[in-house]
């Protein structure tokens, strides 16, 4: 019996935490071509402009950029094609109904290998307003300032 390999991070969408309020997270599989998997194993992918789109009872990942694999024997894959997300029917229906609500979207936050299979972590998200972003920045800076003063006092 094979020992589980754990998780290997390929790409992370750190900007999503800045742009959105992340409400709920779901793990989904990806339907990929062989050359796409090889390219991902080299750690090449861009999640920044990606989002999940419900179409005809399925979820599709739009905007994920996986560059072509140079050593591919066959014709290279399209780097910006839409990729099908693999979820249970009940999960797809729940997420599709929530996305239909006003202001909610599905944003990929992480792309990784889990036990040798490519997975993407989707977050149900609501867009932040400018004042929310400013408040987050101010909170982060105040926490840093407090940490610095506490560290200087302990010395």
Per-residue pLDDT tens over the stretch 108-142: 999 999 988 999 999 998 888 878 778 888 888 89
The verdict on residue 137 lying in a domain is: no
Q: Among 4-8, 9-13, 43-47, 145-149, which stretch is predicted with the lowest mean pLDDT?
A: 4-8
The verdict on residue 49 lying in a domain is: yes
pTM exceeds 0.85, yes or no: no
pLDDT digits (tens, 9 = 90+) for 61-70: 998 888 887 7
User: In angstroms, what CA-CA distances link 111 with 28, 102, 154?
Assistant: 10, 26, 40
The verdict on residue 120 lying in a domain is: yes
The verdict on residue 154 lying in a domain is: no
Please give the residue range of the domain that contains residue 86: 7-128
pLDDT digits (tens, 9 = 90+) for 96-116: 888 887 778 899 999 999 988
Residue 25, CB-side half-sphere exposure with 13 Å CA sphere: 13
Tally of domains in the chain: 1
Pick from 55, 57, 76, 63: nearest CA to 120 = 63
């Amino acid at each position: 019996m094979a020992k589980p390999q754990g998780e290997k991070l390929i790409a992370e969408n750190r900007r999503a935490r800045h742009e959105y309020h992340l409400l709920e997270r779901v793990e989904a599989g990806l339907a990929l071509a062989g050359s796409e998997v090889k390219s991902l194993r080299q750690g090449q992918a861009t999640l920044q402009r990606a989002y999940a789109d419900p179409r005809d009872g399925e979820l599709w990942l739009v905007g994920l950029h996986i560059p072509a694999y140079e050593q591919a024997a066959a014709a290279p894959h399209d780097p910006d094609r839409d990729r099908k997300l693999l979820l249970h029917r009940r999960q797809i229906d729940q997420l599709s109904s929530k996305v239909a609500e006003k202001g909610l979207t599905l944003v990929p936050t992480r792309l990784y290998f889990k036990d040798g299979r490519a997975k993407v972590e989707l977050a149900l998200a609501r867009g932040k307003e400018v004042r929310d972003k400013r408040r987050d920045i101010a909170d982060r800076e105040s926490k840093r300032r407090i940490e610095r003063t506490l560290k200087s006092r302990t010395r």
